[in-house]
Amino acid sequence: MGRYYLTTAIDYANGEPHAGHAFEKVGADVIARYRRALGDDVYFSIGMDEHGQGIAEEAERRDADPQGFVDELADLWAGVWARLEISNDDFIRTTEGRHRRAVEAIVSGMRASGDLYVDRYAGFYCVRCERFRKEEELVDGRCPYHPSRDITWTEEENWFFRLSRYRDPLIEHIGTHPEFIQPASRRNEILRLLEGGLEDISASRSRLPWGIPFPGTEDHTVYVWIDALTNYLSATGFPDEEYTHWWPARLHIIGKDITRFHCVIWPAMLMSAGLELPETVWAHGFVSVAGGKISKDAGSALGLDELIDRHGTDAFRYFLVREVPWDGDREFASAADLLDRFDLRYNAELANDIGNLVSRSAAMVHKYRGGEATLSGSTALDEARTSLARSYHEAMQAHLLHSGLEAVLGLVRRANAFIDEQQPWQLAKEDGSAEALDDVLGALVACLRGVAAMLGPFMPRKAEEIWCRMGGAAGLPSYSEAAVPAAPSPAAGPEARARVAVLRGPPLFPRYEPGP
């Protein structure tokens, strides 16, 4: 059993979660569940970024105390992730005492390296993304990611971090460890940025009370990004000795708009403090609607509650990962276009392909064998199951989650075609075909048991229902228990002639008929 520490970017506590946030959390949860099914000891952390000027201003706008404001939001966000079946082991908040200790420790380590000094900053600051921006980064005088908001000219005395010192060490690390930044397109972007040189950055803000006090300087707070990035350490118990049980992280999952912070500033901070770097940072793309990044402003039709209610939690999880490539972007022409694609995937793939296969298979086992199937390993479908399981594991271990689902759908479609080819209804009528019929029905049940295990990370509730209907005990199996080859091991055969009781039930995914 290997240790696998997995994180997502912590969410900025200035509003409610939307579908863009859900895309990242669901994808990370799929990876966490997949690693657990392989037998890894997984620690999965998500959380909330609760400090900074933007949050202080939003709390003031709502006539609220900042701590009370973020407490209320944290409960809201945690509730949404619970509804989406996100299986996180930790929900780190940057207002917690354990996090403050970690921030103080890493700042002290950076100071001990001689990498912190006092200077004066003058430039533009985007409050929404809590980011200093150069004039050449602006589009029509505004932040490129928040064009509807004014950007503020800021002049103040700050502590600075000697980021420029780490240009060459970062280039060397990326060259030696190409897996550090994935996918490759993001790695190339960061290398180009590094080759252009690095400037020192602010490590504190002055006269900003809502934040962690900068150690040794009463009128400064730690710059919110240095504060926020440290959450990956504070969730492990840093600076206490046991933090090394989980650190370094195996995988950070972030959006492509914050690669500079996670692939330049964060590793430079760790180098400065003498700490190990994470193994991999994966920067996913954006889901956009009508040319804009999806957000809480994209329309009420795309509210998380409305999207989940449309076809259920598992179907929404499935759609996000199936429709949006994990290594790229996905743009929808409009909110209506997104909903149409959701309905199409639901009816075509969940109701017709998967749901129909489960219903047909169970019905035939009951009609021809009284509800009991004998699992076998001698048909073309069993061979397809082994081959496509390998493709599934290759995709999942490369973090290409959409390709993993494609392999599962390929197996489901092969099974539906197998029924039409073998015509079990004809075998049931023919003398001397009893064993052939057993093999066909057994292959279908074994196939669906494998499908259930492979779908488990994506649709945990529906996958468990498939598993139980196909004779499995309560609780999703590991891949070996379901006779799904666990990469990178060679393919294992299905259970040897085991007999299982197959259950019938209502449609897994009732067909959706839109109203007038």
CA–CA distance, 205 with 26 (Å, rounded to integer): 34
Q: Which of 417, 340, 428, 325 is nearest to 379 (CA)?
A: 417
| Pick from 382, 360, 372: nearest CA to 443 | 382
Please report, in angstroms and rounded to a whole number, the separation of the first and last CA atoms in the chain: 53
Gap between the Cα atoms of 441 and 433, Å rounded: 12
Nearest-angstrom CA–CA distance, 481 and 37: 10
Catalytic residue among 173, 256, 293, 366: 293
Query: Of residues 21, 220, 284, 402, which has the active-site annotation?
Result: 21
Is residue 146 annotated as part of the catalytic site, yes or no? yes
d(CA 463, CA 186): 33
User: Which residues does 291 contact at the CB level (< 8 Å), separation at least 6?
Assistant: 331
Catalytic-labelled residue, pool 146, 173, 256, 366:
146
**Considering 25, 99, 126, 263, which one is annotated as catalytic?**
126
Per the listing, tokens 């492990």 go with 236
Is 429 an active-site residue?
A: no
Catalytic residue among 25, 51, 99, 143: 143
129 noted as active-site residue: yes
- Tokens 């840093």 — which residue? 238
Q: Any idea which residue has 């440290």 for tokens?
A: 230
Compute φ and ψ for 90, nearest 5 degrees: -145, 150
β-strand pairing of 201-202 with 204-206: unpaired
Residue 46, SS3?
strand
Buried-exposed string 369-389: b where 16+ CB fall within 10 A, e elsewhere:
beebbbbbbebebbebbbbbb
- Angle formed at CA 313 by CA 23 and CA 235, multiple of 5 degrees: 50
Residues facing residue 46 across a β-bridge: 91
Identify whether 367 is a catalytic site residue.
no
238 neighbors 102 (Cβ within 8 angstroms): yes
- Of 256, 296, 366, 468, the catalytic one is 296
Is 245 a catalytic site residue?
A: no
**Residue 447 appears among annotated catalytic residues:** no
Strand order in the sheet with 330-332: 292-293, 287-289, 330-332
Point out the catalytic residue in the list 25, 51, 99, 129: 129
Long-range CB contacts for residues 364-367, cutoff 8 Å, separation at least 24: 364/424, 364/425, 364/441, 364/444, 365/441, 365/444, 365/445, 365/502, 366/502, 366/504, 367/428
143: annotated active-site residue: yes
Q: Which of 18, 25, 99, 399 is catalytic?
A: 18
Exposure pattern of 210-239 as b/e (b: 16+ CB <10 Å)?
bbbbbbeeeebbbbbbbbbbbbbbbbbbbb
Tell me, rounded to whole angstroms, the distance of Cα 268 from its chain centroid: 25
- Residue 477 corresponds to which tokens in the numbers above? 């199996």
48 neighbors 74 (Cβ within 8 angstroms): yes
Residues catalogued as catalytic: 18, 21, 126, 129, 143, 146, 293, 296
